[in-house]
Every structure is written in structure tokens, then in C-alpha cells.
Amino acid sequence: MQKVFLTLQERSRYKLSRCRLVGGVGKKTSISLKYDYDCVIYVNEVDPPFEKLLDEWDDILKLYLNHLVGETKIIQYSIQFKIGELDFDILPAPNYAGLTNDIMVQAIGLARKFCVFFYG
């Protein structure tokens, strides 16, 4: 996952802060023999929706990762792909770490509106 993150961080026009492994593998609770790596990449100064960002990441992955197997797939909130035998699901998220309280409240309000749009 580190190679994927560094490739995106070096080539993206967006400022990528950090990457976290989440889901069953991240929590070490995956019980399936076939699982995927769910990764969140925190992006500075960007709020949802992330269509343009995901399109850019798709282009970067196709150009610079030599071990992609098959096609990448962009869905509403993530990009999915396979490297070797490993399946990845990369989700962008706004990076709110270090923001002042006023800015944090505004950002969370925007994120909630976006989540209601997709899930509500």
C-alpha cells in the first residue's frame, strides 16, 4: 500500500496527507480467505465530491503502477484495482486534522451533506 500512496502523493495535483489501512484487514478481523485492502487516503484542502480527484488517481495508477492486473474501477466514492493477487479499494477523505474549531465545524457540515446525498 505504501508504494500506491507514494505514487499518488508524488504525482497528484492534490496534497495527500496520509494513508490508513481500514476495514477487516486494518482491524485484523478479516476472516475470509479472499479479502481486499480498504485504504483511506486523507487529502488536504479538498471536500467531497471527489470525482475529479478519483479520475486523476485512475490516470496516475494506470500510467505509473506496472503491476496492475486488469482494469481499475471508479465507483461513487472509491477506486478499486488489483495488484498481483491483492485487491485494493482506495477511498479519499478530507483531512481535518489541525483545523481550527470554526473551520472544522464548517467542514463536517459539508461532509454530512455529502454523505446524506449518497446514503440518505
pLDDT classification of 103: cutoffs 50, 70, 90 = low
Report how far residue 14's alpha carbon sits from residue 3's, in angstroms, rounded to the nearest whole number.
17
pLDDT classification of 64: cutoffs 50, 70, 90 = very high
Report how far residue 103's alpha carbon sits from residue 105's, in angstroms, rounded to the nearest whole number.
5
Q: Averaged over 18-41, what is the pLDDT?
A: 71
The residue extents of the domains of the chain are 2-119
Q: What is the CATH number of domain 2-119?
A: 3.30.460.10
Q: Is 15 helix (H, G, I), strand (E, B) or coil?
A: strand
Report how far residue 42's alpha carbon sits from residue 65's, in angstroms, rounded to the nearest whole number.
20
Q: What is the DSSP letter of 68?
A: B
Sequence-ordered alpha helix ranges (H) in the chain: 2-11, 23-26, 51-64, 101-119
pTM of model > 0.95: no
Whether the upstream peptide bond of residue 49 has omega within 30° of 0, thus cis, is yes
